[in-house]
Chain A
Amino acid sequence: MRVVIIGAGEVGTSIAGSLAPDHEVVVIDIDPDRAEQIKYDYDVLTIAGDGTTSTVQTDAKVGDADMLIACTDNDQTNLVACGTAKTLGDGFTIARVKSTDFLRTWEGNEGAFGVDFMVCTDLLTAENIVRVIGLPAAIDVDPFASGLVQMAEFEIAAESPVAGQTVSEADRFESLTFVGLFRDDEMTIPRGDTDIRVGDRAVVVGSPESVQAFATDVAPETTPDRADEIAIVGGSEIGYQTARLLEERNFKPRLIERDAERARWLAENLPNTVVMEHDPTDTEFLSREHVDEADIVVTALRSDEKNLLISVLAKRLGVDRVIAVVDSYDYVTVFEEIGIDIAVNPRTLTAEEITRFTYESVAENIAVLENDQAEVLELELTEGCGLVGRPISELVAGTDVRFVIGAITRDHALVTPRGDTVLRPGDHVILLVESDSVSAIASMA
């Protein structure tokens, strides 16, 4: 595959590093020195120049490329680069953006700006933080269908209330499906009367809210509930998105922001968050507002140094779990060595997301479970494919392939699958299938 990457920053370099061994990679950067550097680090072709222009893109033979990844630090540059690429050829284009407004615009009309896939760094980071906060009991969590659907795997502990119940007893949530149950390295596709035993590992697929609610049921001790205190320090875009996603999951976080105008904006846009306008490094204030008694503290200030300071402070005050946003990759290990529970690096996440995307050919998205016994796939259905037009119960009965449909998204809305649900072209289907049958099921889509 020929891949053109525009932007040789941390994200671009990281992507180039992972793709270079197996693909033909061209990196374009406006800074000749940076372009030069990457040539020595990896076996790639580099071009110095403005990647938004058709002259430079023609030099890079974007017209013949299979994929163009625009991942500079500037949103507009990335969008324009994708737009230019579409005038030269029809390779797949990926743009990295920070602004969620661009993401919403694109989601409303996929293909807008000439972008085929958009990765929103800040939102991705916030989603990651919220997953880490929300499901500490989960062994594995993966988002599907741009975050509308979540897959999670839980080990059932002895004290869990669902231990000993049947699947239909444990399934109390509107948009949640039990897709798999692992017991002694054996996978079962659960039915209503299947028992859930201690030590089983259950795989569920559903809306993030229902997965959250299920987690509270499975592991009430470790899963945060509404009574838990979550404090977010710093009202950056990541801080804002984190609070917003937590609100969607019925949490009531506190957010501390120093700038009065930004604090007012946050308070107006986050109806279920308590926004405090104060200097977050003031320990007296933190203890007065009982931030020291918070169960979880997220630091999302714009400076790594300040995030480090607050994280250390929070740890010393006795906060259980501290999650820090670390902007520069080099600091991540420092944070973790000091004892901060989780350090989240937006650039790494972005690079991972984009790289993951380049690997997936069979499905839109894949999660591999339990040493590759089973896979959870996201398939986009096309006109006339084998899965379209029949009720799910008929589909399952009419094939030897063992699979469970966990969730369907249609026009960016979640549809909970039932036996009589009929799949349509354009639907995204998230299903669990035994690894041996992946190609069989993929051929039906």
Chain B
Amino acid sequence: MSGRTRIRVGWQASLGLTGDVLTYLAVPLSFPLLLSFYYGESPLPFLVAVGVTLAVGAGFQRVQDPEVNLGPREAFLAVALIWLLVAGVGAIPFVVAGVGTVAHPVNAMFESMSGLTTTGATVLRDFSLHSRSVLMWRQVIQWLGGLGILILATAVLSEIGVGGAQLMESETQTRDIDKLTPKISQTARLIWGIYVGLTALAVLVYFGLGLAVDPQMDLYNAVAHAFTSVATAGFSPEPLSVGAFHPLIQWAVVPFMVIGSTSFVLIYFAINGEPMRLLRNEEFHFYLGAMGALASIVAVGLFLDPGSTFGAEGTIRHAVFNVASFVTTTGYASTDYVQWAPAAKHMLFMGMFIGGMVGSTTCSIKSLRWLVALKSFRRNLYTASHPEAVRPVRISGKPIDEEAIRDIYAYLLLSLVIFFLLAVVIVVDAERGDAPVTEFEALGAAATTFLNIGPAFGDAGPYGTFATFPMTTRAVMIVLMWIGRIEIIPVLVLFTKGFWTS
């Protein structure tokens, strides 16, 4: 062993935990399996997928060393591994089913990663080729990815109680998870309870409206869309996305996307008789305000556009729906906004970068980071002329730690660099592969995958497909969706020498 650096990460603990999570995930993943029996479709894709999940899970569990504890480094490794492996398992049914573009392993992995990370970018071309159970499989993995697998894991696996907070913080990159109860597993269970409750409510609302106004919104579609609206995920078994349904149903989807992007901790307080904690929260104001402002601008843009034929209600609906879909990083569409005037499209592009609140199912930069950055910038303007002034940055009256502010700046910078690099890769690779991609479309595709939003513009638009991008681009996107969902650090940290050695 002399001369070599000893690995100091308790990887056995990470693998053991990964194994535990995988075995438990086999349960929700079996839902499409039951569905395939019900519809008389082939159960084989799901049998294989669930089988592999259990086998890999059991294998990893054998590595578990009870002596090794779950520390911060082990948590990072476990987070990165769990998201990668679950996406891998998720790809299996597409390959086994062997139908359409998604049968190719890279495409299958893209679809699965896009689902798990709640991106919602699809490589499917012809939806009618696929069985209902396979289409539901996409919805289920999105729902699982929505709130974060590790919050689920913490809720279910009582034995990771101590490391649970560590795991959730590694996954979401937020310091100090707000514990609602003394035990983190109990907190995770409460949050998951809210998530399940909201999803059930969405099923009821969608199905009820379906009975009233639109037979196409049957129970299958109600469940499928409930899974992906609260999760702000974006897949739909319908090629026209939510645009396939009655306007009333489109309106009904908006509040669920918005609630899904609201901090679940604050929702918990609101339900338990402390609504002011939510209503007075500055991040909440910022997020709703940004969404409202963007939607108004887009609506005005559409009204002024002579080519637009939506009418008054339609214009407002499409503006509100698509802005909400972009800001909350859901990625549903109510219409093919690719046809809109450039100004309106650029507003949607801007909306991609906002994101919802910390502690919700949303992705992207998130409102809190913008708010802290803006406030700290305003503080800098003041201290430029009053160098001795001590002014903490406050959010909802609570001072923010200076170190947390630096972390946020680092995160913003890092995101920007990765985003631009990805855009360059997309343009260059498209050029090489003769795919027709403009710079704006490349920027949109980069933002949409890295920030986990879903459709973008051009071929990557809501009614298009990512299958037209060259294979290499898609492979890069798979990695960036993964990095983006778990907020960069847990993945990047694995590639540093200091992580593996002391």
* B40 beta carbon closer than 8 Å to chain A: no
- Are the C-beta atoms of B397 and A267 separated by less than 8 Å? no
* B436-457 contacts to A (CB < 8 Å): none
User: Which residues of the partner chain B approach A268 to less than 8 Å between Cβ atoms?
Assistant: 392, 399
* B67 beta carbon closer than 8 Å to chain A: no
- Are the C-beta atoms of B392 and A276 separated by less than 8 Å? no
* A326 beta carbon closer than 8 Å to chain B: no
* A274 beta carbon closer than 8 Å to chain B: yes
A285 to B387, CA, bound (A): 10
B397 — nearest CB in chain A belongs to which residue? Answer: A271
User: Which residues of the partner chain B approach A264 to less than 8 Å between Cβ atoms?
Assistant: 390, 392
* B277 beta carbon closer than 8 Å to chain A: no
Interface string of B382-397 (1 = CB under 8 A from A): 0000101111101001
User: Which residues of the partner chain A approach B391 to less than 8 Å between Cβ atoms?
Assistant: 267, 274-275
- Are the C-beta atoms of A275 and B397 separated by less than 8 Å? no
Nearest 3 interchain pairs by C-beta: A268-B399, A267-B390, A276-B388
- Are the C-beta atoms of A276 and B386 separated by less than 8 Å? yes
A266 to B388, CA, bound (A): 14
User: Which residues of the partner chain A approach B390 to less than 8 Å between Cβ atoms?
Assistant: 263-264, 266-267, 275-277
A276 to B388, CA, bound (A): 5
* A183 beta carbon closer than 8 Å to chain B: no
* A278 beta carbon closer than 8 Å to chain B: yes
* A353 beta carbon closer than 8 Å to chain B: no
- Are the C-beta atoms of A275 and B399 separated by less than 8 Å? no
8 contacts between A and B (CB under 8 A): A256-B388, A266-B390, A274-B391, A275-B390, A276-B386, A277-B389, A278-B388, A285-B388
A274 to B397, CA, bound (A): 15
* A289 beta carbon closer than 8 Å to chain B: yes
User: Which residues of the partner chain B approach A275 to less than 8 Å between Cβ atoms?
Assistant: 389-391
Residues of B at the A interface (CB closer than 8 Å) are 386, 388-392, 394, 397, 399
A274 to B391, CA, bound (A): 7
* A183-212 contacts to B (CB < 8 Å): none
Which of B388, B389, B392, B394 has the largest number of chain A CB atoms within 10 A?
B388
A266 to B390, CA, bound (A): 9
Closest Cβ of chain A to B133, distance in Å, is: 55
User: Which residues of the partner chain A approach B388 to less than 8 Å between Cβ atoms?
Assistant: 256, 276-278, 285, 289
User: Which residues of the partner chain A approach B392 to less than 8 Å between Cβ atoms?
Assistant: 264, 267-268
A282 — nearest CB in chain B belongs to which residue? Answer: B388
A263 to B388, CA, bound (A): 10
A285 — nearest CB in chain B belongs to which residue? Answer: B388
Closest Cβ of chain A to B62, distance in Å, is: 50
- Are the C-beta atoms of B389 and A274 separated by less than 8 Å? yes
A256 to B394, CA, bound (A): 20
Per the CB 8 Å criterion, the residue count for chain A at the interface is 14
Closest Cβ of chain A to B308, distance in Å, is: 47
Closest Cβ of chain B to A206, distance in Å, is: 27
Closest Cβ of chain A to B8, distance in Å, is: 34
User: Which residues of the partner chain B approach A278 to less than 8 Å between Cβ atoms?
Assistant: 388
Other than the given A268-B392, A275-B389, A277-B388, 15 more pairs (CB < 8 A) read A256-B388, A263-B390, A264-B392, A267-B390, A267-B391, A267-B392, A267-B399, A268-B399, A275-B391, A276-B389, A276-B390, A277-B389, A277-B390, A285-B388, A289-B386
Closest Cβ of chain B to A45, distance in Å, is: 52
Closest Cβ of chain A to B31, distance in Å, is: 49
A277 to B387, CA, bound (A): 9
A277 to B389, CA, bound (A): 6
B398 — nearest CB in chain A belongs to which residue? Answer: A268
Interface string of A238-278 (1 = CB under 8 A from B): 00000000000000000010000001101110010011111
Closest Cβ of chain A to B422, distance in Å, is: 39
Closest Cβ of chain A to B141, distance in Å, is: 43
User: Which residues of the partner chain B approach A274 to less than 8 Å between Cβ atoms?
Assistant: 386, 389, 391
A285 to B397, CA, bound (A): 29
Closest Cβ of chain B to A440, distance in Å, is: 47
Closest Cβ of chain B to A281, distance in Å, is: 14
Closest Cβ of chain A to B385, distance in Å, is: 10
User: Which residues of the partner chain B approach A263 to less than 8 Å between Cβ atoms?
Assistant: 390
A263 to B399, CA, bound (A): 13
A7 to B391, CA, bound (A): 41
Closest Cβ of chain A to B211, distance in Å, is: 52
Closest Cβ of chain A to B33, distance in Å, is: 54
Interface string of A4-31 (1 = CB under 8 A from B): 0000000000000000000000000000
A136 to B392, CA, bound (A): 33
Closest Cβ of chain B to A71, distance in Å, is: 35
A289 to B391, CA, bound (A): 15
A153 to B361, CA, bound (A): 60
A264 — nearest CB in chain B belongs to which residue? Answer: B390
User: Which residues of the partner chain B approach A271 to less than 8 Å between Cβ atoms?
Assistant: 394, 397
Closest Cβ of chain A to B7, distance in Å, is: 39
B400 — nearest CB in chain A belongs to which residue? Answer: A268
A285 to B388, CA, bound (A): 9
Interface string of A271-309 (1 = CB under 8 A from B): 100111110000001000100000000000000000000
User: Which residues of the partner chain A approach B389 to less than 8 Å between Cβ atoms?
Assistant: 274-277
User: Which residues of the partner chain B approach A256 to less than 8 Å between Cβ atoms?
Assistant: 388
* A32-55 contacts to B (CB < 8 Å): none
Closest Cβ of chain B to A384, distance in Å, is: 37
Closest Cβ of chain A to B191, distance in Å, is: 29
User: Which residues of the partner chain B approach A285 to less than 8 Å between Cβ atoms?
Assistant: 388
Closest Cβ of chain B to A230, distance in Å, is: 16
A275 to B387, CA, bound (A): 11
Closest Cβ of chain B to A165, distance in Å, is: 39
Closest Cβ of chain B to A264, distance in Å, is: 6
A274 to B389, CA, bound (A): 7
A275 to B392, CA, bound (A): 10
A217 to B339, CA, bound (A): 63
A285 to B389, CA, bound (A): 12
Closest Cβ of chain A to B384, distance in Å, is: 14
A267 to B390, CA, bound (A): 6
Closest Cβ of chain A to B390, distance in Å, is: 4
A299 to B480, CA, bound (A): 58
A42 to B350, CA, bound (A): 80
A235 — nearest CB in chain B belongs to which residue? Answer: B390
User: Which residues of the partner chain B approach A266 to less than 8 Å between Cβ atoms?
Assistant: 390
